[in-house]
Chains A and B, each alone.
Chain A
């Protein structure tokens, strides 16, 4: 395969690709165990209600039904990621689809029939769907017992007796004074609807509960260890009795970050003897009842001087968490503190609220609110530039953060190449205003973004040397398609100086793998890259020590080349890795050193929490990522249809470990962002029911909607001093700019602006008509 001196920085083919393209990869729904049963959820038909009675007698009579569980016979143990506000099954459903119970049967069909025969009596409660209404509501409280929930303090800053599970505050400088002194003050209200993750693979899992109280779960999860913790909490089983086995993941984008159907399936498995059960969401069921990206309404007020310098920005964000805020509190927090944009602003005031409503659950979606807030502040930036008569690119360059700048939370940036990104993206996007017909107008727009990662997460990896000198990496990073297995292989191959073909990466099994956080926050290259590197160095040290003993040459005289240890002083002395894998024998047959194993840990020792009152902290994010994108569009002023002609992105990622895969992330994110810009919206009616849970009525872009040119430029001018080989991340930033850049391009074409997504042709025509009035 590859034969290069260094793998880092080269476009190694994805190590998972052969099995993926030949169809051999085994995903969640591909797991079949002997004696397996099929499970179907019993879900609430009402957005807010109390279950007063449940009758399963008819359902139990269906041929093939083995077991039915409901909230009644399963203890209501709370679990969650950042807030423990959920139970496996509930008697207080808070959205249409909230799980009340589940059926296990010999066939899928029998389980479906039985689930339909369960009779549930409800006492209907008033429901709230609008987050701003829920924010002020004192009579409809969706989680009256919220103050009793467990949660992470810095993520669960709730207000007792309200529908607000988290309030993130940033207070920097004096924002009112800033407005008073500013030459202009501009205000806008911008909104973003819920959208659907739409991964190729729907949620799926297989669970088995043994008579001795051990639980085994196969899941395409983004975080096997978090899932184990949730299962342990929800089921009341200690962790040593819970095993989570990672299957291949057919796309995550955040929807598989947290335990969901696994918890319910495990609860059901407990009542099925030792027979495994399989629960797989149909496309429609997942769409209607599992997760969305949160809707957002953002209020922006910005003070700016005639020279283009932004002096103050006040931001109020309402995040629609839906019925449970498990992960949404984190979105409100994280998106909150990046919501003033990648600009050097002395006075900042941010209030970011997660708000419960009676809708399906909102969760992480490629960027934790990054795309949504970028859509808000980047439109705001163009409104201002337009008002003070500055070129949008120039206006951004005046205010852009730089290396050494101090951002909204008071963090000093050790790597920031935003200005390079802005310049590169605009240089590569020569303007062409010529349109094909008089009814078609062209426009160009730019957007910039910033993205935090986590401040620190415990990350560790294990590297094992096999008897033949080949290597197993037990990576705690979950490859959800972004290619972390390949990235880690490249890093490890370089650290050990071996051929990449001698490394296998094995998926997480919580019994054997060392601890790793989830695949989230574009963190894997940085965190697991570092811990893999350290595990590799640990193994390398041990190999050299063993070789030193075996060759009777001091360690300082040894070096490694392509899996063989050589001596500088004695060129004929050499040992392949295989010779030391199991240890070193002395002359009498005594064995020492082996078998060899490397262990590496990475944490950010100087990471900090945020002050709950001011949102200030020295290092709330291990690094920051930046990007700029220029979009060119054509708008048909008669139909309102938008055609995206070109998307040019420049991403500050520190260092591309694998340039082609980094570009693929950018192109994929651009298309996903284009979908959210032009088409995507989960429509929910007044009852709280999803109206367009199918591929016909909910549009995702096809290749036909993509521009001919999507360019992803990799900006490596500012390697991160702490990143592996200088690398940061790129996955989430890839999706952040397109909606904002396209919206700005549309406004440039038409001279009118649309303040909400998606930019539907109908909204375009309405905006044109409004302007002509």
Chain B
């Protein structure tokens, strides 16, 4: 017989009601959707709150859009829904791939895209890919709505610009340029059910034999998921070659910060980052050229 994890649970029906509840309960409340991060934190007492605001009733479970117009995904869309969505599999296969490697099937069934973003883990699978895809986050607060680019959203491990009284309602992904190639490689010690040693998501826009522009998002090698801007700059406008890719990978490796812990040493993480960035760029290039 365990004590309950929180004193009260609210189940708002509308976004407005949820935002009102957040304003009212403020610092002593946390939003919960799938609960795959929040419940673990509550159980281990890393997080202590009075109230849970469960948003499963909100109309935020949707996947919409097209490659020409861009995509909108509601905050309570689960990893499983992303992995199984015909639209996502066809138009944004990297996002389906990232969803498929988010924990095991039970976790995927519950975990939501909003939760993956709101949790602000430096290793978040979906965030990794969304950032490469130039996604933005939609937020509703007492003062109305705002949209924040993914790469400006995170401020540290578990921390973001999301206000205590704001609700993350969804993400928008801009249209993909024709011929653009994407890739997502998650390297972990175990093939499934593991945190990435390094996660790399790449979006490359080719122009003939050259790279017109590149987005490279790195996970698990810094306090937040971030863009390897120097590596992107090395690729942009240059003729694609093995040397160029290795140069970009070296720049990306230098942009990461590496720690030694029980899973791997800093030296190993660094070495593998170079390898995986290189492979991810190669994969995105080969995938894009065919399009």
Residues of chain A at the chain B interface (Cβ within 8 Å): 38, 107-109, 638-641, 679, 683, 691-692, 696-697, 699, 701-705, 760-762, 765
Nearest Cβ on chain B to A122's Cβ, whole angstroms:
26
| Number of cross-chain contacts by CB at 8 Å | 50
- Are B190's CB and A679's CB within 8 A? yes
Q: Collect the chain B residues with CB atoms within 8 Å of residue A640's CB.
A: 268, 272
Enumerate chain B residues within 8 angstroms of A691, measured Cβ to Cβ.
262
Nearest-CB distance from A763 to chain B (Å)?
A: 10
A109 contacts across to B, CB distance below 8 A: 1-3
A109 to B43, CA, bound (A): 12
Least Cβ–Cβ distance between A31 and chain B, in angstroms? 16
- Interface pair B192/A761, CB less than 8 Å apart: no
Judge whether B275 is part of the interface by a CB distance below 8 angstroms: yes
A697 and B190 alpha carbons, distance in the complex (Å): 11
Q: Shortest distance in angstroms between B278's beta carbon and chain A's nearest beta carbon? A: 8
Is the beta-carbon distance between B187 and A692 smaller than 8 angstroms?
no
Knowing that A639-B275, A691-B262 touch, tell me 11 more A-B residue pairs with CB under 8 angstroms: A108-B1, A108-B2, A109-B3, A639-B187, A640-B268, A641-B187, A683-B262, A702-B191, A704-B193, A762-B265, A765-B268
CB distance from B229 to the nearest CB of A (A): 25
User: Residues of B contacting A699 with CB < 8 Å?
Assistant: 189-190, 194
Cβ–Cβ contact B195 & A696, under 8 A: yes
Of A639, A679, A697, A701, chain B has the most CB atoms within 10 Å of the CB of A639
Given that A107-B1, A108-B1, A639-B275 are contacting pairs, would A702 and B192 also be in contact in the complex, using a CB cutoff of 8 Å? yes
- Distance between B42 CB and nearest chain A CB, rounded to angstroms: 14
Shortest Cβ distance from B104 into A: residue:
A702
> How far apart are the CA atoms of A109 and B2 in the complex, in Å?
6
Contact of A760 among B2, B189, B193 (CB under 8 A): B189
> Closest Cβ of chain B: how far from A758's Cβ, in Å?
10
Between A and B, 5 residue pairs with Cβ closer than 8 Å are A696-B195, A702-B190, A704-B190, A760-B189, A762-B264
For residue A493, give the distance in angstroms from its CB to the closest CB of chain B.
Answer: 39
Report yes or no: B268 in contact with A704, Cβ–Cβ below 8 A: no
Give the complex CA separation of A638 and B187 in angstroms. 12
B64 CB within 8 Å of chain A = no
Q: Mark each residue of chain B from 257 to 291: 1 if its CB lies under 8 Å from any CB of chain A, else 0.
A: 00000111100100110011000000000000000
Q: How far is the CB of A356 from chain B (nearest CB, A)?
A: 26
- Alpha-carbon separation in the docked complex, A640 to B271 (Å): 10
Interface residues on chain B, number (Cβ under 8 Å): 21
**B187 contacts A704, CB within 8 Å?**
no
CB distance from B99 to the nearest CB of A (A): 16
Q: Which residue of A lies closest to B191 (CB)?
A: A704
- Check B262–A705 contact: CB distance below 8 A: no
Residue from B1, B190, B272, B275 within 8 A of A705 (CB atoms): B190
Nearest chain A CB to B10 CB, angstrom units: 24
Residues of B within 8 A of A (CB): 1-3, 104, 187, 189-195, 262-265, 268, 271-272, 275-276
Chain B residue nearest to A695 in the complex (CB): B193
- The distance in angstroms between the C-alpha atoms of A691 and B268, with both chains bound, is 19
A38 CB to nearest chain B CB (Å): 8
Is there contact, CB below 8 Å, between A701 and B268?
no
Docked Cα-Cα span, A705 to B36, in Å, equals 24
> Separation in Å of the A217 CB from the closest CB of chain B?
22
The CA of A237 and the CA of B87, in the complex, are separated in Å by: 70
A761–B2 CB distance below 8 A = no
Which residues of A sit under 8 angstroms from B189, Cβ to Cβ? Answer: 679, 699, 760-761
- CB-based contact A697/B191 at 8 Å: no
In the complex, A288→B272 CA distance in Å? 31
Task: Report yes or no: B187 in contact with A697, Cβ–Cβ below 8 A.
Answer: no
Q: Which residues of A contact B271 (CB under 8 A)?
A: 765
Report A-chain residues with C-beta under 8 Å of the C-beta of B2.
108-109
Q: Contact at A638–B275, with CB atoms within 8 Å? A: yes
Residues of B within 8 A of A692 (CB): 262
Closest Cβ of chain B to A705, distance in Å, is: 5
Chain B residues lying within 8 Å of A641, measured Cβ to Cβ, are 187
Closest A residue, CB atoms, query B261: A697
Task: List B contacts of A107 (CB < 8 A).
Answer: 1
Q: Provide the bound-state CA to CA distance between A412 and B212, in Å.
A: 76
User: Would you give the shortest CB distance from A69 to chain B, in whole angstroms?
Assistant: 22
Q: In angstroms, how far is the closest chain B Cβ from the Cβ of A699?
A: 5
Q: Which residues of A contact B3 (CB under 8 A)?
A: 109
Is the beta-carbon distance between A639 and B272 smaller than 8 angstroms? yes
Name the distance in Å between B102's Cβ and chain A's nearest Cβ: 14
Please indicate the chain A residues that have their CB under 8 angstroms from the CB of B275 in the complex.
638-639
With A109-B3, A639-B187, A765-B268 as known contacts, state yes or no: A702 contacts B263, CB within 8 Å. Answer: no
Q: How far is the CA of A701 from the CA of B189 in the complex (A)?
A: 10
CA distance A639 to B272 in the complex (A): 6
The 9 closest A-B pairs by CB, nearest first: A704-B192, A704-B191, A762-B268, A638-B275, A107-B1, A692-B262, A699-B190, A697-B262, A702-B192
Closest to A638 in B: B275
Expressed in whole angstroms, the minimum distance between the Cβ of A188 and any Cβ of chain B is: 25
Cα of A261 to Cα of B20 in the assembled complex, Å: 50
Which of B3, B195, B265, B276 gathers most chain A CB within 10 Å?
B3
B176 CB to nearest chain A CB (Å): 28
Bound CA–CA A692/B3 (angstroms): 26
Measured between beta carbons, the chain B residues less than 8 angstroms from A703 are 192
A696 to B262, CA, bound (A): 10
Nearest CB of chain B from residue A721's CB, rounded to whole Å: 45
Give every chain B residue within 8 A of A696 (Cβ-Cβ): 194-195
Q: How far is the CB of A642 from the nearest CB of chain B, in Å?
A: 11
Q: In the complex, what distance in Å separates the CA atom of A304 from the CA atom of B93?
A: 58
Q: Measured between C-beta atoms, what is the minimum distance from B260 to chain A in Å?
A: 11
Known A-B contacts A108-B1, A109-B1, A109-B3; A705 and B265 likewise in contact (beta carbons under 8 Å): no
The answer for the CA separation of A640 and B189 in the assembled complex, in Å, is 10
**A38: B residues at CB distance < 8 A:** 1
> Which residues of A lie under 8 Å from residue B272 when comparing CB positions?
639-640, 761
User: In this complex, what residue of B is CB-closest to A699?
Assistant: B190
Cα-based distance from A374 to B37 in the complex (angstroms): 42
Residue of A nearest to B264 (CB): A762
A107–B1 Cα distance when bound, in Å, is 6
Contact B187 A705 (CB under 8 A): no
Q: How far is the CB of A353 from chain B (nearest CB, A)?
A: 29
Q: Which residues of A contact B194 (CB under 8 A)?
A: 696, 699
Report how far A672 CA is from B194 CA in the complex, Å.
18
